[in-house]
Chain A
């Protein structure tokens, strides 16, 4: 390496130094510590006490809430991810149409995603109230006897999914889809139109394949994000009714900050990490079949 290149390398490392320090201090270090904690019994006040794999054994065999919370979370992910990603694509397609007042519509679509989650939850709790909520009133106008929503174990998760769809569907994912749509070269459509393709055929042959990278990104991030869902359930239901919304991270939070079982909670967090890594790996493997990376 010449002295000029060495000088460049030194400066480069100097510029990324804040990240390196931060990575060691707030990511790698804590990760190692959390793995160590997961093999101990630890309540912060007394030093950690080594117990080997006992926490992991307890998670799988003796924790009455682990499997149910995993199941509830999986149900939430399975319901919310396809609906939010599909909905975001729909929003992007709408916003890509030439129409008067697009700026206003774009703002209307986007604002739910920047509304503070707690504020949104409080409003929805009122909207969904079984006795005086406006949603059940509107349903009653159509002759439908609405459920108790957040108060009904069967409807609680779908209610939170509804909330999630409202808060996420017009946000960043839609913006990413929209920019992917706008990156599609016009001439592809024009050529196909000359050949007599219908609108639907255009979508299938051009739009859908060219959007697969953005879709893949949205699915991966969507699954990771919704697996960690917390705020809405914490504020609206505290995991109820009857554990119907007792999500995985709620369990993890309670273990750490209600029962102060830091070791056990760390073990739960590593199980979560392994699950997410497995999902992401599967998706990357599967993506070779359907994600179409263009020449670019």
Chain B
């Protein structure tokens, strides 16, 4: 008895110190990881407020002195940054509108209806997740070239209106499947049509899923690079991602012989603030939405 008690106490003591060590490891892990993740942001912010020559100082200066807020004004003179912002917002919003509405329709079709070949078609949706975009890139480019859509926003918007992509359909189907079927059945008995069930019952209940999709879609459009690079040509039509690269090339031309890193940092900060703000506002729904796509079913 006494022996047993002693070993138990010893085991508890061990577990106690183990737990303490683990706690320390967890905190250390958090701090190290957070510092690594946050550092480039802090550094970019610091760089965006330095004078041209301070960004090239070695050893580097941590806090800009003087603080040059004028850098943020100057980038708007080197490139039409406001235009880039506006274009990106316009493309992202118009494209995600189509993505959310049509993906919801398609997901409803896959989640709540029985029809021949449904599961095979859904498998096709899923397999297109793995299809590299490059296989369709050239014919799609040729198609848009032939209808005269090169250097317009249309190639970046219109395709979103056809189901919104495999990922969007999958996410919303997962979401619809979490909603009880009884609701549909009850409405059907009351004589509601399918569009009505979709519009007045499923959609209002799916707000978190729709919001998560809208945010993910917006973020993806916001940072899309290859497609705007191919489709947009004139300077005043560029999106932020492509415009940033344009600035990287252009700043040296506009200001020959001068360092331009401070301007690139300011523009990068401008491009990064909207996604981060969005994330802060819808963090919870976004995380739930992503988690949903990782669950099987």
Contacts and interface: CB of A to CB of B under 8 A. Distances in A.
Interface string A20-48: 11110111011101100100000010000
B257 interface: no
If over half of A's interface residues share one DSSP class (helix, strand or loop), that class is named, otherwise mixed; here it is helix
B194 interface: yes
Contacts of A144: none
Nearest to B118: A12
B176 to A, nearest CB: 11
A30 B139 contact: yes
Contacts of A12: 109, 112-115, 118
Contacts of B129: 221
Contacts of B58: 131-132, 137
A9 interface: yes
B278 to A, nearest CB: 8
Given A97-B26, A107-B283, A199-B22, A122 B128 contact: no
Nearest to B134: A269
Contacts of B78: none
Interface of B: 11, 18, 22, 26-27, 29-30, 33-34, 36-38, 40-41, 43-44, 47, 55-60, 102, 105-106, 108-110, 112-116, 118, 121, 124-125, 128-143, 145, 159, 161-163, 169, 194, 198, 219, 222-223, 225-226, 230, 240-242, 244-245, 248, 261, 264-265, 267-269, 271-272, 275-276, 279-280, 283, 287, 290-291, 293-296
23 contacts: A5-B114, A8-B114, A15-B105, A15-B194, A18-B102, A22-B161, A26-B162, A31-B131, A37-B138, A107-B279, A115-B275, A116-B223, A116-B272, A118-B225, A118-B240, A120-B268, A126-B265, A217-B294, A234-B225, A269-B135, A269-B138, A272-B135, A296-B296
Interface string A79-110: 00000000000110010010100010111111
B271 A137 contact: no
B54 to A, nearest CB: 10
Given A9-B114, A11-B113, A262-B138, A18 B248 contact: no
Interface stretch (A68-76, A151-159, A173-181): A173-181
Interface residues of A, number: 95
Given A22-B162, A230-B226, A273 B40 contact: no
Interface stretch (A55-63, A184-192, A249-257): A249-257
B136 A31 contact: yes
B291 A176 contact: yes
A220 B269 CA distance: 33
B132 A132 contact: no
If over half of B's interface residues share one DSSP class (helix, strand or loop), that class is named, otherwise mixed; here it is helix
Given A16-B106, A18-B106, A116-B222, A111 B37 contact: yes
Given A34-B139, A118-B268, A221-B130, 10 more contacts: A18-B106, A22-B159, A34-B135, A116-B275, A122-B264, A132-B57, A134-B60, A137-B58, A256-B137, A273-B135
A273 B137 CA distance: 12
A252 B134 contact: yes
B132 A276 contact: yes
A80 to B, nearest CB: 16
